[in-house]
Amino acid sequence: MSAQTWRKRALVAGAGLVVSAIALSACSAPGGTGGPTSDAPVTDATVTIAEINEFTSVNSASANGNLDINGKVNYLTRAGFYYVNDKYEVVPDKSFGTYEVTNEDPLEVTYTLNKGLQWSDGEPITTDDLIFGWAATSGALDDATLDPESGDVTSGTQYFQYAGSTEGVKTSTISNVSDDKLSLTLKYDTPFVDWNIVGLIDQPVHVVAEKAGVDKDALVKAILDQPRGDAAKPAAPNETIKKAADFWNTGFDMTHLRAQPELQGRSRPEDRQARHACHR
């Protein structure tokens, strides 16, 4: 997060090759029965992992990149407001920030980023990124009608081809964005029991804007100004959002990554490595 808490994380991948090794520390000593033999950290230990799929995209949230291995790499290289532990519990990650219900009727959840958070290229993580993440994963801006069998759009616009469910969050709106770009509030039309797994952080908006050929501030403003989509009354697509969505849908796939390292943006704090690697 801050300069003091960040570390470099290496992921070994090649063309047609899955991520094959992840360096772990303080998990187990080499040899023996496989369990820890002392409290001393283990260095230069490597675990080789076989995966059924190839690593194809760093955007596992997209329909095109929604593979198990892509999700695992995303989990290892990204931080957010929460994580899921080995007991399948949702655990707030205070090294990233806080989020809490600040009003119950209507339901309002306020997200506050810690100061000093950065993407791996050094750019700050701000509410601009959260606003973009909401647009990409909420489906709130879509006014598309989909064919029930093929899933093809028959009318209107589907901006982001998000692979997850948008139930609940698609009825939300963003309000109260702070001037320092560290806090915002998500307001729901109706109560949503899974509010605590709406993390908002997704891809770095500055990278998406640059690659899509749009101005970042104009993109963020367009998202905030765009009315909620209504499939019964489809409107002309917002071209700024559409360009960003078109890039998001496929632009983080492996065919683009080797020559464009900025697409591999990471947002993971050092102090989470042990509990995610070892689940101790």
Q: What is the reported pTM?
A: 0.77
CATH 3.40.50.1970 fits 21-278, yes or no: no
Per-residue pLDDT of 179-217, as tens digits, reads 999 999 999 999 999 999 999 999 999 999 999 999 999
Rounded to whole angstroms, the Cα distance separating 23 from 6 reads 16
Q: Where are the domains of the chain?
A: 21-278
* Average pLDDT rounded to a whole number, residues 97-125: 97
What mean pLDDT, rounded, does the chain reach?
A: 82
More confident of the two residues 2 and 74: 74
Of the pLDDT bands very low, low, confident and very high (cuts 50, 70, 90), residue 21 is very low
> What is the full DSSP assignment across 172-214?
EEEE---TTSSEEEEEESS--TTGGG-----S-HHHHHHHHTS
> Percentage of the chain surpassing pLDDT 70?
78
